[in-house]
């Protein structure tokens, strides 16, 4: 697989993880739905000036794939937070992460992709890394109920579908599909807020983190789209799914949070997976 695709996918994971770090900071001061809606709007504002820079043809098909991806991704975010609110984090987070990473791998293989043996080994290592880095050492003890687990699975399917649908975008579409995706998710989040009577007003001091999260999340989407246009879905998507590793490292060195032994092992596996895939 092209080295450029591997570099772009790895950079995508780093940027996704950084966006989640800022999103996590924002949710400490604002309601989750407000953070989701405002980050989607921020991302849309960020990508609009880039549309003429990376020239593309805004065909109906390309926009349709983007809108479908945006709806799946937006639904995945909402279901993920609902699952976290009602379940055990140490069960919900790995379930979502593993599902979202595994689904594109299966889809890629079903579509006829055949990564080299070393790359496949790297994919397996990456899947294991996703599980480990998503474990939460501070999660409360107890048994997770069925509803949050089902929501976590559905959330992972939504994120995985987002990756798969963007792979279907024509190569000459530029960034137009991402604009369609972000418009769809922003409208969806805003409509949900209106129908449930939730405020979209950010909490005091949360706006800078929300803006940073929205811009970085869209930048990660751009990197992913460029990567998946140049490489295999089964490899690019699983590399992008390593984003929890960078979130953990930022929490460790910026906020002083401690990593568990499993999470540290997961970060090591993630680095090994990238190296193994790059050597293929």
Residue 178 and residue 159: Cα distance in Å, rounded? 15
255: Cβ contacts below 8 Å, ≥ 6 apart = none
pLDDT at res. 52: 85
Residue 30 and residue 35: Cα distance in Å, rounded? 7
142 has a pLDDT exceeding 70: no
Tokens 């090591």 belong to 268
Residue 152 contacts residue 91 (beta carbons within 8 Å):
yes
Q: Per the structure, how many domains does the chain have?
A: 1
The alpha helices in the chain, defined as continuous H runs, are 3-27, 32-47, 60-86, 89-110, 117-133, 146-167, 176-196, 207-228, 233-240, 243-254, 261-279
pLDDT at res. 104: 92
pLDDT at res. 280: 66
- Mean model confidence pLDDT for the chain: 86
As a whole number, mean pLDDT of residues 173-195 equals 89
pTM value is: 0.88
DSSP string, 109-150: HHTT----HHHHHHHHHHHHHHHHHT--TTPPPSPPPHHHHH
Q: C-alpha distances in angstroms, 276 versus 118, 120, 126, 210, 270?
A: 6, 9, 10, 35, 10
pLDDT at res. 55: 72
Banded pLDDT at 10 (limits 50, 70, 90): very high
Q: C-alpha distances in angstroms, 135 versus 2, 24, 63, 128, 267?
A: 32, 16, 36, 11, 12
- Domain of 238 in residue numbering reads as 3-279
144 has a pLDDT exceeding 60: no
Q: C-alpha distances in angstroms, 212 versus 41, 57, 203?
A: 12, 28, 15
Q: Which residues of 218-252 are buried (b: 16+ CB within 10 A; e: fewer)?
A: bbbbbbbbbbbbbbbbbbbbbbbbbbbbbbbbbbe
139 has a pLDDT exceeding 60: no
Residue 249 contacts residue 13 (beta carbons within 8 Å):
no
As a whole number, mean pLDDT of residues 250-265 equals 85
Give backbone dihedrals phi and psi of 112, rounded to 5 degrees, phi first: 100, 5
168 has a pLDDT exceeding 90: yes
pLDDT at res. 67: 94
């Amino acid at each position: 697989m092209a080295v450029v695709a591997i570099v772009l996918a790895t950079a995508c994971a780093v940027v996704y993880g950084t966006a989640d770090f800022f999103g996590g900071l924002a949710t400490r001061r604002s309601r989750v739905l407000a953070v989701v809606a405002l980050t989607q709007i921020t991302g849309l504002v960020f990508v609009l000036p880039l549309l003429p820079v990376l020239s593309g043809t805004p065909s109906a098909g390309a926009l349709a794939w983007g809108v479908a991806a945006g709806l799946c991704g937006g639904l995945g975010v909402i279901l993920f937070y609902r699952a976290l609110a009602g379940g055990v984090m140490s069960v919900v987070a790995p379930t979502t992460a593993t599902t979202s990473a595994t689904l594109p791998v299966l889809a890629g293989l079903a579509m006829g992709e055949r990564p080299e043996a070393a790359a496949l080994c790297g994919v397996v290592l990456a899947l294991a890394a996703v599980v480990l880095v998503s474990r939460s050492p501070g999660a409360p003890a107890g048994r997770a109920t069925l509803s949050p687990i089902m929501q976590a699975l559905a959330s992972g399917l939504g994120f995985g579908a987002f990756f798969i649908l963007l792979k279907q975008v024509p190569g000459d579409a530029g960034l137009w599909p991402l604009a369609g995706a972000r418009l769809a998710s922003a409208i969806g989040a805003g409509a949900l807020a209106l129908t449930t009577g939730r405020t979209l007003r950010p909490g005091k001091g949360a706006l800078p983190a929300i803006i940073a999260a929205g811009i970085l999340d869209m930048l990660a989407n751009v990197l992913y789209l460029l990567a998946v246009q140049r490489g295999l879905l089964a490899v690019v998507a699983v590399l992008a799914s390593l984003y929890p590793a960078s979130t953990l490292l930022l929490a460790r060195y910026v906020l002083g949070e401690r990593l568990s032994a499993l999470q540290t092992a997961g970060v090591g596996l993630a680095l090994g997976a990238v190296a193994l895939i790059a050597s293929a």
